[in-house]
Amino acid sequence: MIKTGYRQKLKVVKKVEFGVYLSEEGAGDKAEERVLLPASRVPEGTAVGTELDVFVYRDSEDRQIATLETPRVVIGTLARLRVVQVTKIGAFLDWGLEKDLFLPYAQQTYKVSEGDEILVTMYADKSDRLCAKMDVYKSLEDRSEYKKDDTVVGTVYLISENFGAFVAVDDKYSALIPKKEMFGAAEKIVAGSKITARVARVLEDGRLELAVRDKGYVQRNEDAEKIFEMIKAAGGKLDFYDKSEPELIRERTGMSKNEFKRAVGKLLKEDKITIGDGTISLR
């Protein structure tokens, strides 16, 4: 069976004025078991029996068609493609062939605009038409050479309210920034952004768990400085303290309660603040 969306080796079974028909070895010359390579793309010297390495897709009339060109993405692979058009039904991407690749709205993990370079994989829909999708989780590799505390660069391709930010490290490896880690990051983590992160741990299956906050004392120092500046900006007093509700602390500072308490403890030790009844004040 000739598969749409893949490169495959097929043999010329028939020559016609408008091209040559290709088929799999032993499949014969049945119309449903062959695909056309248009005359403009047929290499010189091609004859019946010649084997050609082609990519099969569908033309503007949804007919299977072959080409010797290599698109930037095939089914099961990943590629960073440019958005050439956004329409009411979805977006169209430049993948190296004359007919642009369709990206349905339902397969977009965030809103795209013309000119964006986005990471996608490809699939064939129920009608065997090739489409792109931005949720690349199943196309990423689980195991990499990265180890704990290595610095990595990746693309955030999906934000999950339950789990956090899904990242394609090197646009190749599967990684996650846990939800709790996203709070207090130096910059807001959004889908589509390139991020630099630290490997917090390598899971048993090889996938990476990432951290975007600095380790230990470095982060504590930054948090303490942030709180100190907040107190000054508030006129010398905050109307909440280290025993306030975690939700209030996170809303006001972007930190977890434990991170806030560590930073406040540092300021207390340095004798820069005092804690009152539900307040923190400068000395």
Domain shared by 221 and 264, yes or no: yes
Please indicate, yes or no, if residue 146 is contained in any of the structural domains: yes
Measure the CA–CA gap between 196 and 151, rounded to whole angstroms: 7
Of the chain, the percentage scoring pLDDT greater than 70 comes to 94
Q: Does pTM surpass 0.85? A: no
Q: Specify the 3-state DSSP secondary structure of 265.
A: helix
Given a cut of 80, whether residue 103 has pLDDT beyond it is: yes
Comparing C-alpha atoms, which of 173, 266, 282, 181 is closest to residue 225? 266
Angle of CA points 50, 53, 58, to nearest 5°: 110
Please indicate, yes or no, if residue 1 is contained in any of the structural domains: no
Which pLDDT tens digit goes with each residue over 111-138? 999 999 999 999 999 989 999 999 999 9
**Per-residue pLDDT band at 186 (split at 50, 70, 90):** low
Comparing C-alpha atoms, which of 125, 221, 140, 212 is closest to residue 173? 140
Averaged pLDDT for residues 177-196: 80
- Tokens 């979805």: give the residue: 90
Q: Specify the 3-state DSSP secondary structure of 53.
A: strand
Domain extent, residue 53, equals 7-67
Q: What is the total count of domains within the chain?
A: 4
Beta carbons within 8 Å of 275's beta carbon, 6+ residues apart: 241, 242, 264, 268, 281
Measure the CA–CA gap between 283 and 266, rounded to whole angstroms: 14
**The last residue of a domain, from among 121, 137, 153:** 137
Instruction: Report DSSP state, residue 271.
Output: T
Residue 75: per-residue pLDDT: 94
Angle of CA points 59, 62, 66, to nearest 5°: 40
Domain shared by 50 and 111, yes or no: no
Which pLDDT tens digit goes with each residue over 41-89? 899 889 998 999 999 999 888 889 999 998 999 998 999 999 999 999 9
Please indicate, yes or no, if residue 207 is contained in any of the structural domains: yes
Residue 102: per-residue pLDDT: 96
Measure the CA–CA gap between 74 and 130, rounded to whole angstroms: 9
Residue 170: per-residue pLDDT: 95
Residue 110: per-residue pLDDT: 93
Residue 79: per-residue pLDDT: 94
Measure the CA–CA gap between 189 and 213, rounded to whole angstroms: 12
Domain shared by 93 and 110, yes or no: yes
Residue 69 one-letter amino acid: E
Give me the CATH number covering residue 180: 2.40.50.140
Residue 63: per-residue pLDDT: 87
Helix (H), strand (E) counts: the chain: 4, 18
Domain shared by 201 and 157, yes or no: yes
**Per-residue pLDDT band at 216 (split at 50, 70, 90):** low
Please indicate, yes or no, if residue 249 is contained in any of the structural domains: yes
Please indicate, yes or no, if residue 263 is contained in any of the structural domains: yes
Measure the CA–CA gap between 17 and 15, rounded to whole angstroms: 7
**Per-residue pLDDT band at 188 (split at 50, 70, 90):** confident
Of the chain, the end-to-end C-alpha distance in Å amounts to 79
Given a cut of 60, whether residue 180 has pLDDT beyond it is: yes
Domain shared by 41 and 30, yes or no: yes
Instruction: Report DSSP state, residue 15.
Output: E
